[in-house]
Structure formats: structure tokens, C-alpha cells
Amino acid sequence: MLHETLIEDARALQGDITALRRAIHAEPELGLHTPLTRDKVRAALADLPLTWREGPSTTGLVAALQGGAGPGRSVLLRGDMDALAMPEETGLPYASTIPGTMHACGHDAHTAMLAGAARLLCARQAELTGEVRFMFQPGEEGYHGARFMLDDGLLGGGADGLPLPDAAFALHVMPNARHGQIAGRAGALMAAADKFDVVVKGRGGHASMPHFAADPLPVAAEIVLALQSAVTRRFDAHDPVVCTVSKIEGGTAHNVIPDSVSLLGTLRSLSPRHRAALHAMVHEVASGIARAHAMRAEVTVTEGFPVTLCDPRAVTMGEETAKALFGEGAWHGLQRPIMGAEDFSYVLEKVPGAMFFLGVAAEGADWHCCEGIHSTRMVLDEAALPGGAALLAGLAKRFLAQGFA
């Protein structure tokens, strides 16, 4: 009965959740500073009995709700707020009004669902034991916003003596997954994401006389092919890695051999051992091939987000909550990790918890054919969002009541 009430109350918030999501979608912001989005969140929740914390490094917010039934455990719910630097081609009436910026990863929906969960839990404050913290985070798209918020002590563990929460949960929409489906897995859910830059240093000259130059272009091409081959031969397919060269830049004209060529790309891995080996491989392959051609390669590998590791107890709680709220068929256990990355991983390094995926394809649609995240044409079915708010609220209620088994 409590779950039925939670779902009914969440559906009653459809208008509020949709309105906040559309307002955020129309004015997307990038990076660690999202003041317009922060102010929209504060305004939407201004009437609730929440206390707010902000830090110096970002415009991130943590709102805290103290349960009315006395002290107890603490649980963190997270939603990210930043957008992507890309154009929008959806044609929606509330499409981005900021050129070259779009909410193409669903963070507008994440923020709106978290605001909905806050309202659902505030309505149940009297029956809650402990504390719920609502983390509204900027800078997820490569800016390490979660790490900055942790360093600022906003989540706890800082100089003010506030302890870290006892558990943490997050939800990510998937526009090409079945409407309302909740998915997750224990262990590695998403990959570590690092980036590499390689500059092949040669000697320029006239393109008609390559023997008087040291042409870095074929050397760069050889490095690209060798990196792909090395991945298939050095790494166990059961502990997968990805090495993708995503940009090659060099040269100025049809008849000029350039002095240098640059490559950049991404590295994805699921274990510390393979992460280190992948970094070493890029250095060895690029430097070795360049040396073989009497050139040199300057290699830089920059570490990004760590692996997103979900606590098995938290995943079990997610499965139980999803089934209790939406029925047995709502849960989908993922067999394999996804090689995308998430900076919620920083939170899960310090706090046991889990992230789950929410399918937001249109109900009844062939979701296999829907545009995925980071597409200029990505859309989502807003009718699925109250379910996400209910799931977040349900996870908080369940954890405060019983903790992890």
C-alpha cells in the first residue's frame, strides 16, 4: 500500500516534474558552474523543509531533509545538472535556446526526478528516521563535478564534522531502453574513462620530395592501426578495454608535409590492472613506432573517471524496490557493464551504493530504434519520469528503514 501511494503521489507530480525538466532543457549550461539551473532547483523546492549546503568550487547543491521520527541512517540521492557542448536538432517547442549547447544526456530529467523525489519524501517527513541528502551536481560531463563536491565537504567527510552518508543512489535515463524498465548490475557498471594525446614529431617539407623530409602522417596512421591490433592481442576479452582514436590532425596544404601530426582518443577499462596496462600500451606503441621511423612521439595519458562500482547489497535493494513499485517485469539485470563512464563513480568509491538505468523510450515504441544519449536528436518520454522520482524516493525510504541486509 505504501508503494502504491508513492507511485500515485509521484504521478500527481507529473506537471511539476515536466515543467522543471523543460525549463532546464531550454537553458542548458556547461561545466562546473550552472547558476541558472541551480536557481531553478532552489525555486522549485523553496517551500520544502530542506537545509541547503553550497561549496566554493562549483554551483552544486546538497539539500538535507531530517526525518521526523528521530535520528538514524543517512542516504544520498544524486542528480546531475550540466549539459553537453553540441547543437540540438529535436525541433521540440522547449528546445535549447543556447546555441551549441544541449541536454543530450538526460541530466535535465535527472534533476527534475530528484526534485520530485525530494517533494515525495518531504511529504513523508514524519515517518522517516534519519536523513536524506539530495545532491544536485554540475560538471558531470568530463568536469569531475562529483569529485569537487566531495573535496568541498558538501557530501560529508569535511572539516565541519558531518559524516559521509551511509548509502548513495543515482538514476540515469536511457532513451533507447524500454519505457519504465529499471536496469542495473552488481560490480562494475560503467568503465573508467581516460584520454590520450599523441604528437608525432617529424620534419616538414615539399610533398613532392618526401625523401627530404620525415613525414609524420604515415607514422601516425601506423600508430592508429597498431593500437587497434594491440588491444585485441594484449587484453583478455573477458575483462574488456576500449582504445579509440577519435581525432587526427596534421598538415596545411595539398603539397606540404607537416612537421607534426596529433592524435587524440579515449581509453576505457574495467579493472585497475587493465587500466594501467592500457596506459602503458599507448606509450609503448606510439613511441616505438615513431622511433622505428627515426621520429619521436610525445604521449600524454590523462586519467578521468574511475570505474563505477555498484555494491551488491545496493543493487539487490534496487531490484526489490523496482519490483515492489512497478511489478516483477520492471527489473532488468544487466549481464555486462557499459563502456561509458560516470563521475558518480567518485561517490561510490567512498560510499556504498548503486546507479540504475531508467528506460525512457516512448511507451510501446520500438526502443531499439530510438536515438541514444549524446545524439542531437535525443528525446525522452516524460511520462516515465514520475516513476524515476518514485524509485529514488522508494530507495531512500527503504534504506532508512532497514539499511543493507
* Per-residue pLDDT, 1: 46
Residue 51's nearest CA partner among 67, 63, 68 is 63
* Per-residue pLDDT, 3: 67
Domain assignments of the chain as residue spans, ordered by start? 2-189+307-402, 192-302
pTM for the structure as a whole: 0.93
CA atoms within 13 A on the CB side of 48: 25
Q: Which fold has domain 2-189+307-402?
A: Aminopeptidase (3.40.630)
Strand ranges, E, within 45-181? 51-54, 61-66, 74-80, 131-137, 167-174
* Per-residue pLDDT, 186: 97
* Per-residue pLDDT, 238: 87
Architecture of the domain made up of 192-302: 2-Layer Sandwich (3.30)
* Per-residue pLDDT, 318: 97
* Per-residue pLDDT, 395: 97
pLDDT per 10-residue tile (average), the chain, 405 residues: 80 97 98 98 98 96 96 97 97 96 97 98 96 98 96 91 96 94 97 97 96 97 96 90 96 97 97 94 98 97 96 97 95 95 97 97 80 92 97 97 91
* Per-residue pLDDT, 342: 96
